[in-house]
Amino acid sequence: EDQVTQSPEALRLQEGESSSLNCSYTVSGLRGLFWYRQDPGKGPEFLFTLYSAGEEKEKERLKATLTKKESFLHITAPKPEDSATYLCASNYGQNFVFGPGTRLSVLP
């Protein structure tokens, strides 16, 4: 059974304090690894798709990387507006499995 796990469950950072979030997946052949941001009471917002080990993508203060077993979301010099829950997901065909998320709080 395909599974996606994330760590840590919650993370508190001071503004400007860089860190990384982890997503581990067990899938029978990687299709895609996706990162989303979710604000309270709202739908997930697409951030990145990674398909191949070694692939990296960047957007503003966020960089996503992928290995054969896990993905990292690196947050450089975060700001309070980066506070949200970050979700990763993987798919097989048109069936998507989401992880439980990492709840990030960035304090001013």
24 touches other proteins by CB under 8 A: no
Stretch that binds other proteins, among 15-23, 67-75, 76-84, 98-106 (CB under 8 A): 98-106
- Number of residues near other proteins (by CB under 8 A): 24
Mapped to the 3 state alphabet, what secondary structure does 31-71 carry? CCEEEEEECCCCCCEEEEEECCCCCEEEECCEEEEECCCEE
How many helices (DSSP H) and strands (DSSP E) are in the chain?
0, 11
79 touches other proteins by CB under 8 A: no
Candidate list 34, 65, 73, 102; residue touching other proteins; CB under 8 A:
34
Amino acid residing at 82: D
Give the interface with other proteins as residue ranges (CB under 8 A): 31-32, 34, 36, 38, 41-46, 49, 87, 89, 91, 93-101
